[in-house]
Amino acid sequence: MATKLRTLGPKAAAALDEELMSTGAFSIDQLMELAGLAVSQAMYAISPPSKTPHILVACGPGNNGGDGLVAARHLFHFGYKPTMYYPKQSKNELYQRLRIQLEQLKVPFTNDFGDAVQKNDYIIDAIFGFSFSGEVREPFPAVIKALAENKKPVLAVDAPSSWNIESGPPNDGPGKGYQPAALISLTAPKPLVKWFKGRHFVGGRFVGKEIAEKYGFDVPSYQGSDQIVEVEGLAHEEITNFEKSSVSGRFLSRYMSTLRELKVFTNLERSTVKLGTRLMSRTASSQINAVDLAGSSLTQQPNLPSLLTLPDELQLMIYKYCCPTHGVLSLWLASGILESELYTFHPESISRRLKSDLRLLHICRRIREISRAEFWKTTTVIFDIAANGAIYDYRAAVESVASRLPGALPFCKTLDLSCGRFPICQLPYQRIHEEYTVLSANGWAAVRIRCGRSLGEMQRLDEVAPSPWRPLRRPCLRCGERKEVMMRKLETTMLVIRDEGISPGRLLEVVDAIL
């Protein structure tokens, strides 16, 4: 679904619930059953039990928690093994019955949230919904903090718990930085979805158009017998449109003539970021934590790299473009080539085990259109550029690292390095192909050097140990003074799926087929 759905504020949402239960003649049990069923269907759509059997369902004291209790029962019958965390149990008879239903199915309840996070594959956040307000009170701060900081993917019910329903993610407190992989909005999205970056579903296939009109929200078009529909994230048709429009001559001439490239670019960038986020939420259980999508032109001109990592990894959330000029941008639009890489990237973790999924590799190879899917060894040179605001030409440092790497492809003579949207140093690329990709983030710059041969399956690096930080003294391009910049090196294994001509839509299909 490409259209943006209207949202429903907390007061309107509460009033709607009231109306459904009075004029609408629904009982709370019914509404909760429908909500919980929708949550369980969203979970299934994201990751079936064959992939992520163990689901931790965290339930809060209110109806949001009730949705979690219902969802767990459905998940059990779908073949998952749910575990419940329900620290503040309500005396209300409805919740008691929902709990007894789970106990009769021998669904375990735990008090140790941290331990349960470790033991489960996916977490459902049914702690607070649209009635949450103010600061998070006990016993939930530690739980919210664990949700924000843990490495397991989370599906949030109606709202990421601790987010303000109107104004989104908190600036501080335990929920700071909390960005779940997926969200299911019940009945209608709440205003906070504006800040949400993951896969987004809506559930609530029981409200008529009339009531939706009265409350000013949209009923999305549900398919088949589904209780849920995926919205806003890049749905397939949207990607296909994006792909079509980015290659069509008519599109090009239209935008060329009106010089609206920058706006178009922003849209493409947003789409790419959404695609990346979605890819990550689908690959979460295979421990691939980064996606790098790069469009390059037919003539190997500078491209549009976009690297995303899961928010728990250094908060590296990057979308960078190194082609701010009209000409280069148009070239990219004309080409429609997309390189895509899924890989593991753990810059800060020492000796962390990486399990790049071999199965992923094998399946990729079986898919005819993918001509190359292989492991590559990469070395990333990371600069801490936040420290003194200096602007450097990093080439020499990167070249010296590259010259000592066995099998590194001939290092090209020029590189582009930028921090976020701000160019640090910009030099023309000679070739974009193979040798390196430049990545950047707030306060960090990373130059990735890919080695010249792909690794055999058994040679993949399972341990990642970044070198210690080392100071470099380099003249600042801005003031000419020699200033210190910290540098370190990191070797990783990268799973590269690459094919000239693979479109974002096709890529998603491939990922679907794999997972």
Ligand X SMILES: NC(=O)C1=CN([C@@H]2O[C@H](COP(=O)(O)OP(=O)(O)OC[C@H]3O[C@@H](n4cnc5c(N)ncnc54)[C@H](O)[C@@H]3O)[C@@H](O)[C@H]2O)[C@@H](O)CC1
Interacting residues with ligand X (CB under 6 A): 17, 31-32, 35, 60-67, 128-137, 140, 157-158, 186-187, 204
> Which single residue brings its beta carbon nearest to ligand X?
129
Shortest distance in whole angstroms from residue 138 CB to ligand X: 8
| Strand duo 463-464 + 444-455: pairing | unpaired
What are the angstrom distances between the C-alpha of 407 and each of 17, 29, 403, 410, 459? Answer: 64, 64, 9, 9, 14
Least distance in Å: CB of 301 to K ion?
A: 45
Rounded to a whole number of angstroms, the minimum distance from the CB of residue 98 to ligand X is: 11
| Six-digit token string for 19 | 């109306």
Name the minimum Å distance from CB 18 to K ion. Answer: 20
Tokens of 133: 């307000």
For residue 509, say whether it is annotated as part of any ligand binding site: no
Residue 297 assigned as binding residue: no
Q: Which helix (H) or strand (E) holds 228?
A: strand 228-231
- Count of alpha carbons within 13 Å of 163, Cβ hemisphere only? 30
Is residue 134 marked as binding?
yes
- Cβ nearer to ligand X, comparing 62 with 305: 62
Q: Find out whether 22 is annotated in a ligand binding site.
A: no
63 is in an annotated binding site: yes
Stretch that binds K ion, among 158-166, 258-266, 267-275, 295-303 (CB under 5 A): 158-166
Q: Please calculate the CA angle 156-269-271 and round it to the nearest 5 degrees.
A: 50
- Is residue 499 a known part of a binding site? no
The C-alpha atoms of residue 302 and residue 295 are separated, in whole angstroms, by 9
Contact positions with K ion (CB under 5 A) in 91-130: 125
Alpha-carbon span 92 to 228, nearest angstrom: 28
Tell me if 157 contacts K ion by CB under 5 A: yes
Nearer to ligand X, 62 or 336 (CB): 62
Q: Is residue 67 within the footprint of K ion (CB under 5 A)?
A: no
Q: Which two tokens stand for residue 178?
A: 């909390």
3-state secondary structure of 257: helix
289 is in an annotated binding site: no
* Least gap, CB of 88 to ligand X (angstroms): 8
State the nearest-atom distance from the C-beta of 153 to ligand X, in Å.
Answer: 19
Strand bridging mode 182-186 / 199-203: parallel
Residue 161 binding: pick among K ion, ligand X, none (C-beta 5-8 Å cut-off by kind) = K ion
End-to-end CA distance of the chain: 22
Helix H or strand E segment including 338: strand 337-343
Please give the single-letter amino acid code of residue 183. L
Q: Is residue 162 within the footprint of K ion (CB under 5 A)? A: no
125 binding partner (options K ion, ligand X, none; Cβ < 5 to 8 Å by kind) = K ion
- By a kind-dependent CB cut-off of 5 to 8 A, residue 435 interacts, out of ligand X, K ion, none, with none
Among 161, 272, 440, 503, binds K ion (CB under 5 A): 161
Could you tell me where the DSSP H helices lie in 367-442?
395-403
Peptide bond into 10 cis (omega under 30): no
Shortest reach from residue 135's CB to ligand X, in Å: 6
Tokens of 497: 């799926």
**Spatial CA neighbour of 68 closest among 89, 47, 51, 46:** 89
**Angle at alpha carbon of residue 337, lines to 418 and 279, rounded to 5°:** 75
Q: Are 244 and 233 in contact (CB under 8 A)?
A: no
Q: Which is nearer to ligand X, 158 or 499 (CB)?
A: 158
Q: How far is the CB of 193 from ligand X (least distance, A)?
A: 13
What is the C-alpha to C-alpha distance for residues 374 and 362, in angstroms, rounded to an integer? 9
Which residues sit in the known binding site?
63-67, 125, 129-135, 158, 161
Which residues sit in the known binding site for (6S)-NADPHX?
63-67, 129-135, 158
Which residues sit in the known binding site for K(+)?
64, 125, 161
Binding site for K ion (CB under 5 A): 125, 156-157, 161
